[in-house]
Amino acid sequence: MPTNSRTNASRTITTSTQGSTLADILERVLDKGIVIAGDISVSIASTELLHIRIRLLISSVDKAREMGVNWWENDPYLSGKTQTLIDENQKLQERLQSLEAEMRSLKALATSQLDLSAAEQPKDRSRNPPISEDENHPEID
């Protein structure tokens, strides 16, 4: 009978969690990837009020790149481009303020020149009689 007990010991069934640590399981999930998908709808009297579509992908970065998922590389909040974009935005804001100040000064200059030219014009119209239309635009026969 001792031989029979030895064969029973070698017949133990190995399960997926037997002898696996959390690190082993996490490594398997990240290596293969896992997708969780679902839809949530809130309706009242067959009128849909809210529809939420949930898609969740859990994988390693390498596996995600293999699948063509790489949105985080271009997201400024998740990449090193954040500070560059902040600096560029600041420079553009300063340039805009400078251009607006220049526009205001040019408008003020133009307004003051119009006021000066209006003040310099003679108030007595008899010195400079208006030009008749016949002198400016002779008719062609």
Q: Tens digit of pLDDT for each residue in 52-89?
A: 888 888 888 888 888 888 887 777 677 677 778 888 99
Could you tell me how many residues make up the chain?
A: 141
Q: State the pairing for strand pair 34-44/47-58.
A: antiparallel
d(CA 111, CA 104): 11
Residue pointed to by tokens 């001792």: 2
126-138 pLDDT, tens digit each: 555 555 555 555 5
d(CA 138, CA 130): 16
Model pTM greater than 0.85?
no
d(CA 140, CA 86): 67
| CB neighbours of residue 125 within 10 Å | 9
Query: What's the confidence (pLDDT) of residue 132?
Result: 57
Query: What's the confidence (pLDDT) of residue 134?
Result: 55
82-121 pLDDT, tens digit each: 778 888 999 999 999 999 999 999 999 988 888 888 777 7
